[in-house]
Amino acid sequence: MTTNIHNFIGGEMLPASVSHYTSVYNPSRGEVIAQAPDSDLQAVAQAVQAARQAFPAWADTPIVERARVMFRFVHLLEEHFDELSQLVTREHGKTLDESHGDVRRGIEVVETACHAPTLLMGQTLDQVSRGIDGRVERHPLGVCVGITPFNFPAMVPLWMFPIAIVCGNTFILKPSPKVPLTALRLAELLTEAGLPKGVFNVLHGGAETVDALLTHPDVAAISFVGSTAVAKHIYETGTAHGKRVQAAGGAKNYMLVMPDADLDAATGQIIGAAFGCSGQRCMAGSVAIAVGKAGDPLLERLDEAAKKMRVGPTDSGSAVDMGPVIDAVARERIRGYIDIGLNEGAKLATDGRGVSLTEATDGFFVGPTIFDHAAPEMRIVRDEIFGPVLSVMRMEDLSDAIAQANKSAYGNGAVIFTRDGGAARMFARYVNCGMIGINVGVPAPMAVFPFTGWNQSFFGDLHIQGIEGFHFYTHNKVILSRWNDPGKRVQGW
């Protein structure tokens, strides 16, 4: 039996009076576990009104008190760590270890938010002109909105709302309708941490809900993570309506393997980057370029490692290395790309379409898939597949490999495996993307650093996470003050 889940507005779980719901699946079983409402304009107005009404009092709350809410929230996240991880596994399909990482990386952002009294300090300059002192203060924006994807039900929302809220803003989270349950549990824990009603709200829905938020006059800022096409729409629509927008899009991340690399270590890193979270992450390594003599021995190791991976349901407690993809639509799209790669002439070294599972289930599975001799013009090289498909290219020269990586329209991450410091420096300096890994398979930054996608992987000026996150959720106020001279001089001046 499935249940209709509610919006969380003004500190209460409120049923949505809508006729259309989106099914929420357990991807490991292919079973519907809940129904998420497609909120209408009335629900959007209700959520924005609750956030707008809560803003003045929350913005006036001393920063140390806002930070204390985050300290209590961290404590609750740790206390419910296993529960949250199991919830992520249930509605997303990640392995439990991957869900642990999802929740842990989100907690690290909340820990960073606890440092807000230091990170939000302004600047002062005494006697900037004769008799005039100047200072800069950081002030909250107002009602902020986060629109998040299915692939990290805990981490990506936690990238956004802890920083926005501790800066003094109120927040509306619009999670993916495919993974709404974790978002609602986070709302409950925030309430338990002492956050006032209306400061944080959860609104379910699809494209109509998003567009209503993008154009609402009382929304000040939009944060988004998802595909590039939607990120561009979010940015263009939001900015056209006067919003501050940060929109992270898709990616096609390259991994270069030099002839001098430790191939055993590189293989483990590449397998994790390509097939971790079933390839459903914007930092997935989806193209490997074997440089020079690295090609044959690398491919042999990758094929062997991929075929040893245990694939199966993640909700039964059995040991698996990779779980399902999010739903049947994703499964068929990924299988379609495998067909495209074959038709384009790539050699299918490891075929995940008929993967043997650890146990029989009706879940949404595609196994690890590796193409060899992929070419630059192929769609499997150019398109973001967002699944467990790795394309291996072969090139003779590092410069040519960097040039190939730089042809990508995207710009999230790029990685090199080498023992040569000069090669690593050249790669880091000239590859055209925002996050670089040197012998690191997934160069996703820790919470204190910004998530710096470039090109078609990001639209906006200030990135998610790190100090840029604090700057995004605040604006500067410059104050110049002059006071009449009392006419008395301090001795010695």
Secondary structure (3-state) at 469 = helix
Q: Which of the following CATH numbers is that of domain 253-438: 3.40.309.10, 1.10.10.10, 3.30.70.270, 3.30.110.30?
A: 3.40.309.10
> Do 253-438 and 3-250+453-479 have the same topology in CATH?
no
282 catalytically annotated = yes
Say which DSSP state 150 is in: S
* Residues 89 and 96 sit within 8 Å (Cβ to Cβ): yes
* Region of 262 on the Ramachandran plot (φ > 0 left; ψ -120 to 50 alpha; else beta): beta
- CA-closest candidate to residue 410, choices 446, 452, 359, 468: 452
Secondary structure (3-state) at 226 = coil
In terms of DSSP H, where are the helices of 282-397? 295-308, 328-344, 379-382
Q: Where are the beta strands (DSSP E) in 226-334?
A: 244-248, 253-257, 285-291
Burial of 171 (0-12, 13-18, 19+ CB in 10 A): buried
How is the chain split into domains, by residue range? 3-250+453-479, 253-438
Using pLDDT thresholds of 50, 70 and 90, give the confidence band for residue 59.
very high
- The whole-model pTM stands at 0.95
Burial of 188 (0-12, 13-18, 19+ CB in 10 A): middle
Whether 205 has a pLDDT exceeding 80, the answer reads yes
pLDDT tens across 160-204, in order? 999 999 999 999 999 999 999 999 999 999 999 999 999 999 999
Whether 489 has a pLDDT exceeding 70, the answer reads no
Q: Which of 114, 167, 282, 433 is catalytic?
A: 282
147 phi and psi, to 5 degrees?
A: -115, 115
For domain 3-250+453-479, give the CATH superfamily.
Aldehyde Dehydrogenase; Chain A, domain 1 (3.40.605.10)
Whether 2 has a pLDDT exceeding 80, the answer reads no
DSSP 53-118: HHHHHHHTS-HHHHHHHHHHHHHHHHHTHHHHHHHHHHHH---HHHHHHHHHHHHHHHHHHTTHHH
Say which DSSP state 276 is in: G
**What's the confidence (pLDDT) of residue 1?**
55
- CA-closest candidate to residue 371, choices 396, 337, 415: 337
**What's the confidence (pLDDT) of residue 485?**
77
Q: What is the mean pLDDT of residues 42-58?
A: 97
Give the position of tokens 């490997």: 288
Q: Which residues pair with 428 in a beta bridge?
A: none
Percent pLDDT > 70 in the chain is 98
pLDDT tens across 67-117, in order? 999 999 999 999 999 999 999 999 999 999 999 999 999 999 999 999 999
Instruction: Please tell me the distance from the alpha carbon of residue 352 to that of residue 339, in angstroms, as a whole number.
Output: 11
Helices (H) and strands (E) in the chain, counts: 16, 21
Q: What is the mean pLDDT of residues 409-424?
A: 97
